[in-house]
Amino acid sequence: MGRTTGPEASRGSRTPFGDALRAGPDLDLAAVDTRSTPAFRGGKRKAARLMAAGAGELDELQERLFAEAKFGGKRAVLLVLQGMDTSGKSGVIRHVAALFNPAGVRYHAFKAPTKEERAHGFLWRVRNALPMPGQVGIFDRSHYEDVLVVRVHDLVPRSVWSRRYRQINDFEARTSESGTAIVKVMLHISNEEQKARLMRRLLRPDKWWKYSPRDVDERALWPAYLEAYEAAMRRCSTDVAPWYVVPADRRWYARLAVQQLMLERLRQLDPQWPPPAFDVEQEKRRVAAS
Ligand code: AMP
Ligand code: MG
């Protein structure tokens, strides 16, 4: 993974955030500085300005995608968000999803599977939650839980979860072939930052609802989770569906990075306004005469 400080967000098909954050087969999560801000130089206020500057373009790109689908286009974008407890998934979703027209967004949060979900293969509920053509899908957790929490807690035998990496790659390749561009993000916080955030939750009545005593038990399994994350990203960061590791100790950077990754991907898709399905000049005359 490139960790050099690159230029700020740019026009065209350049992908500075994608290049700087992409996970490769030799990913070493422990070596990532979770306070770093790859592809960006500056602080919170500058990041907010850059995010505001990109908002209009992101909105238009999504509207184009939506318009394309109205006339038979099959393309969609899917953001997959993973991260340890308190890594900031819900904050990123709040800030990034707010940049889109809600009519074009499909959000789904993955919890421990229900009885019905457990009766099917692990990808069943994921297929059902995919974005429709023209939509931006947002997965708050995902099928990766089936090789993360499931692996860490031995919820199924090793022989079962170890096959899932290939099954996930096949599934994502087919999904991408049928028109859905997949952007996978791990919000990567440090162990100390998680401790501080859990403690802060306990100090604030308005954050108690987010706290679960179980989070402390999960925290004790930190090394096992890191290992599981690393394995998933090493094996499932593919050309069609790359994984990006976003340092997330600084919330403002995580939000900016996810927005820029989506912007870069949508620019590559370059959705087009559909041509008119009618004679524009003739319709102008009809409206004028009406
Ligand atoms: P939260 O995102 O804080 O609401 O928590 C959702 C919980 O559901 C997390 O503890 C996840 O690990 C858990 N979860 C999600 N998917 C699965 C799964 N496939 N198997 C077991 N637990 C899961
Ligand atoms: Mg939680």
pLDDT (tens digit, 9 = 90+) per residue, 181-220? 999 999 999 999 999 999 999 999 999 999 999 999 999 9
Alpha helices in the chain (DSSP H): 16-21, 44-70, 89-97, 115-118, 124-128, 149-152, 158-177, 191-203, 213-219, 222-236, 251-269, 280-289
Average pLDDT of the chain to the nearest whole number: 94
Name the closest-CA residue to atom 7, ligand 1: 111
How far does residue 212's CA lie from ligand 2's centre (Å)? Answer: 7
Q: Ligand 1 atom closest to Cα of 85?
A: 3
Could you give the percent of the chain with pLDDT greater than 70?
96
- Ligand 1 centroid–CA 109 distance in Å is 9
| Ligand approaching nearest to the C-alpha of 110 | 1
Predicted pLDDT of residue 283 = 98
- Summarize the confidence of residues 51-59 as an average pLDDT: 95
| Residues sharing a CB contact under 8 Å with residue 194, sequence separation 6 or more, in sequence order | 84, 85, 86, 87, 219, 222
| Ligand 1 surroundings by CB, under 6 angstroms | 110-113, 141, 145-146, 149-150
Neighbours of 244 (CB within 10 A): 24
> Is the pLDDT assigned to residue 6 strictly greater than 60?
no
- pLDDT for res 12: 53
Q: Is the pLDDT of residue 49 over 80?
A: yes
Q: What percent of the chain has pLDDT over 90?
A: 95
**pLDDT for 237 beyond 90:** yes
Q: Tell me how many degrees the CA angle 236-63-13 measures, rounded to the nearest 5.
A: 55
Residues 87-141 have pLDDT tens digits of 999 999 999 999 999 999 999 999 999 999 999 999 999 999 999 999 999 999 9
The per-residue pLDDT for 13 is 76
pTM above 0.85, yes or no: yes
Name the residue of 84, 111, 139, 161 whose CB sits within 8 Å of the most ligand 1 atoms, as the mutation to test its pocket. 111
Q: Whose Cα sits closest to atom 17 in ligand 1? A: 112
**Above 50 in pLDDT, residue 11?**
no
Residue 276: what pLDDT? 94
Ligand (nearest to CA of 121): 1
**pLDDT at residue number 10:** 40
CA of 250 to the centre of ligand 1 (A): 24
- Per the CB < 8 A criterion, the answer to whether 27 and 230 are in contact is yes
